[in-house]
Structure 1
Amino acid sequence: MNKTLKITLASMLLATGYTQAEETETTLNAYAAGYTAGFTCSAVFNANKSMAQVREHELSGIYSLIAERVKGMTPEVDKENNWVRVPYDEGRRERISVWRSKLGCVDLPVGATVDDAKFLADPFRGDKAANKDSGAPWGKRAEVNATSDNAQLESVLKQAFTKKYGSGSRTSAVLIVTPDEIIAERYLEGFSPETAQRTWSVAKSIGASVIGAAIQQNKIELDAPAGISNWAHPLDPRGHITLENLLHMASGLDSNNAGNRTDRVYMGGGLVSDTATETALEVAPGSRWKYANNDTMLALRALHERFDTTEEYLKFPYKALLEKVGMQHTFVETDWRGDFILSSQVWTTSRDLARLGVLHLQEGQWQGEQILPKGWLDYISMPAPAQPPEDAPGYGAQWWLYNERFPELPDDTIAARGNRGQFLVVIPSKNLVVVRRGYDIAGEQGFNEHDFVRDVLKAL
């Protein structure tokens, strides 16, 4: 084939759209810089970590797409003005992440400067960060990192900080509680009850709880159309997608081969409102289960559109849920237009996650107030009409179900599960909550929460 023909064929392929979609080097560098800026910002300002800790935990063992690029990047941290800047492309460009009280860090879009941070909504400006964890609601608390009197449980807890439950396992915290007692609480050196970590997809179950609080306050309805403004045209079939479809991971929307690939929002400075809302239907809503970050983001976007102002919406999770149950070290992060990225970007402590678990054990009640609707635990624990493959846990409403598929655990076991080994496991029949946090290594066998919880139950 001569050179002219090769060029002609290449031009035809470009013209007809047969080239494979692939990120450019500039975009990949922007992603890596955004990841570095965002995680550094959140770890420093949400969790009070040193840069050495950030490098060890947040920036190692990570997503292969950007792992090597991140190694060569140097964040600039401005603790006085609460931002992190990361230059890339030999210093010609930069990515910036800005911290706000309670809301944590927000990644500015490519091309934005530090001066642009003044345009961010900041409804909690001036609020002071929480200090020591109060220990409430637990009247009885095992001493942090103390040896258990239960030899079998002690062995399980020690093994949780080894490779016993996964070759790529790197455990940072384990917490076992009932509504009345902290049975055991262990942390990696340098961590404490006040150390927040990113939840990754455990955030989805937090997001479902925010939706539950909104339903309790009559702000949104499960079986009504989601009502996303982008889908308002009468010819648009997406207008038939209900909030429940979204909670069930059954929107029917195109979310590429891997529904957890939302890089543009997670580290590219993209918006929920111009990424998640733009995809087309592949199948009828409710007819297929497919794990998709966008479904969670869309459920919360639907709630956002029920509020008159973004500032009012930003306050809602805190006023309606988090502050009521004492989740004082939880940061629910947003994109730069004020949409919560509640599919992944929450930073919280092990105790705060356990408090959310206790709220569910108490059927959505806290100190006599009904925060979540009556029957909410039953609702999120009910298998959705369309289910994951048989070799995986079942799925309810943004919670995973360890039902009859897993005979070594009680059938009512539900779990919030996140990347790098984040787990919140709730077992109503045992009145028990188990939390495990970690920094598991991408590409290696992660922490096996099923086996760990099974062994905890045997020990108890």
Structure 2
Amino acid sequence: MKKILKIFAVLLLIALIYLRIEIYPQLDLISGFSAKSVASGHFIDGRSLETIQQGDNDIDKIDWATNKIDEKQRFVTSSVYGLKTRKATYREGLGATLINDDYDVSKPYNVPKRNFIKNDLPFPYGEKEQKASLPNGLDTVFANIDYAKLNAAVENAFDKKGEKNKRTRSIIVIYKDKIIAEKYADGFNKNSKILGWSMTKSLTATYFGILQKQGKLDIMKPAPIGEWQNDERKKITINDLLHMNSGLEWEEDYGKISDVTKMLFIAEDMTQSQIDKPLVGKPNNSWNYSSGTTNLLSGILRKQFKTHQDYLDFWYSTLIDKIGMHSALTEVDMKGNFVGSSYGWATTRDWAKFGLLYLHKGNWNGEQLFDESWAKYVATPTNGSNGKYGAHFWLNAGGRFPNAPKDMFYASGYQGQMVAIFPSHDLVIVRMGLSEEFDFNGFLGGVVGSIKN
């Protein structure tokens, strides 16, 4: 009996050591992710706590957290078995922000000025529905589309009742500016705001195209980072940063304590997370995907304006509200910087508008927001990416999706968010969901294959 107790004691000790070394340090990230997720999903999209916990937060370890919503003060607290309590506060116009104990919630803050343009135009250039005069709910039937094949591809992208594998929340297919297919999972509809995660990176990069067209920025010049001016990092250009090809050290691993998780769930100023990293490669020859780079770009963008208010307003006035993405919201960190790497929200239709802007090479209903050459620039492979990556857009040039055209380029986000642009087919496809295992090749091939060029 004593021997058994000794063995049990040793095993218990080993378990406690493991928990202390491996698990306990992660609790900040677990409760931080949970608090931020609940606050955003509840206050931005109106989802219930139960819905968020069973949907958005049913991730390994994240589901350990216990969450409480304070409706009156508009914040969420989360902890893991009472340990490592974290708090996320919600502010109208800025979204939810994960805060620490030093953050002063009573401090005044700036809010972006929005311009909700109203007109009598149908989608995508206005908010009116496209005229549904046909039995299938469409206003146009294209002779070159196999609608049975198209609808089968869309239907197959969703789970059947009782299943939880594909986890698609919404799909929209737009051909020649017309919605030819649109479907939502139970609990979601055309007004549901969905987090794009890293699709926000593509949005962030677009502002550099806009500034370049306005003649206010040259992306080929060295990045304006004071900390880099006395070493080799001074050679890093904005162009290198846009291509994720700076040569800077960065670990993008969401399964552990890494550069990206410390930035998103611990840092007060996310624009600083990449700045102190050393060179481990050569600029323009060392492709390495980095959310820290995108938030550094958000910080560079902020430096282009005299005031914080101007920075906030520019984000919406020159792009988001300009193309009628009125549901869209990009959340900020504790220092008021847009979290351009990860925290952009919008309805599926509004994400599609962003794709259409690139399909039309920056032209939105007659107004050129960025030069046509910018659309080619973001879709041109960067050195070392094997045709997978351009300038803050992913590419199919390397044939990642064999059943899709190689000219396809796309914004991509965690858990399978995608805005895919097909210049050769005059087509935009959006898929929002909760699974990285989704068969994008089969789905994209099915939709594209239903259209005869």
TM-score category of the 2 structures, normalised to the smaller one: 0.7 to 0.9
Judge conservation of contact 2:201–2:340 (CA < 8 Å) in 1: yes
C-alpha distance in 2 between matches for 1:120 and 1:32: 29
Seen in structure 2, the aligned counterparts of structure 1 residues 161 and 298 have a Cα distance that, compared at 3 Å, is same
C-alpha distance in 2 between matches for 1:302 and 1:420: 28
| 1:18-57 to 2 correspondences below 5 Å | 26-57=24-55
Letter in 2 for 1:122: N
Seen in structure 2, the aligned counterparts of structure 1 residues 287 and 125 have a Cα distance that, compared at 3 Å, is closer
Seen in structure 2, the aligned counterparts of structure 1 residues 257 and 48 have a Cα distance that, compared at 3 Å, is closer
In the other structure, the counterpart of 1:431 is 426
Judge conservation of contact 1:400–1:416 (CA < 8 Å) in 2: yes
Q: Deviations over 1:267-319 (max 9, x none)?
A: 22442244221111111211111111122222222111222222221221111
Partner of residue 275 from structure 2, selected from 269, 277, 286: 277
C-alpha distance in 1 between matches for 2:303 and 2:22: 34
In the other structure, the counterpart of 2:440 is 449
Letter in 2 for 1:201: S
C-alpha distance in 2 between matches for 1:368 and 1:196: 27
C-alpha distance in 1 between matches for 2:358 and 2:114: 32
Please, what TM-score do these two structures have when normalized by structure 2? 0.83
Judge conservation of contact 2:31–2:78 (CA < 8 Å) in 1: yes
C-alpha distance in 2 between matches for 1:168 and 1:239: 47
SS state of the match for residue 423, structure 1?
A: strand
In the other structure, the counterpart of 2:343 is 345
Q: Does residue 1:140 correspond to 2:137, yes or no? A: no
In the other structure, the counterpart of 2:106 is 118
In the other structure, the counterpart of 2:169 is 172
Letter in 2 for 1:347: W
In the other structure, the counterpart of 1:95 is 86
SS state of the match for residue 270, structure 2?
A: coil
Seen in structure 2, the aligned counterparts of structure 1 residues 282 and 425 have a Cα distance that, compared at 3 Å, is same
Shift of 1:174: 0.6
SS state of the match for residue 200, structure 1?
A: coil
Q: Does residue 1:396 correspond to 2:390, yes or no? A: yes
Shift of 1:147: 8.1
Q: Deviations over 1:384-430 (max 9, x none)?
A: 2x1324xxx52111111112635532232111111111011000111
Partner of residue 384 from structure 2, selected from 379, 384, 387: 387
**Residue correspondences, number:** 412
In the other structure, the counterpart of 2:77 is 85
SS state of the match for residue 343, structure 1?
A: coil
Shift of 1:188: 0.5
Letter in 2 for 1:73: A
Seen in structure 2, the aligned counterparts of structure 1 residues 452 and 126 have a Cα distance that, compared at 3 Å, is closer
SS state of the match for residue 218, structure 1?
A: coil
C-alpha distance in 1 between matches for 2:259 and 2:152: 37
C-alpha distance in 1 between matches for 2:278 and 2:131: 50
What do you get for the CA RMSD once the two structures are aligned? Answer: 2.9
Partner of residue 234 from structure 2, selected from 223, 233, 239: 239
Judge conservation of contact 2:114–2:313 (CA < 8 Å) in 1: no
Partner of residue 159 from structure 1, selected from 139, 156, 159: 156
SS state of the match for residue 75, structure 1?
A: strand
In the other structure, the counterpart of 1:418 is 413
SS state of the match for residue 183, structure 1?
A: strand
C-alpha distance in 2 between matches for 1:191 and 1:135: 19
Partner of residue 362 from structure 2, selected from 361, 364, 370: 364
Shift of 1:354: 0.5
5+ unaligned residues in a row in structure 1: which ranges? 1-21
Judge conservation of contact 2:112–2:312 (CA < 8 Å) in 1: no
Seen in structure 2, the aligned counterparts of structure 1 residues 168 and 403 have a Cα distance that, compared at 3 Å, is same
Seen in structure 2, the aligned counterparts of structure 1 residues 269 and 87 have a Cα distance that, compared at 3 Å, is farther
Q: Deviations over 1:36-67 (max 9, x none)?
A: 1100011011111111210122101x3xxxx3
C-alpha distance in 2 between matches for 1:106 and 1:238: 31
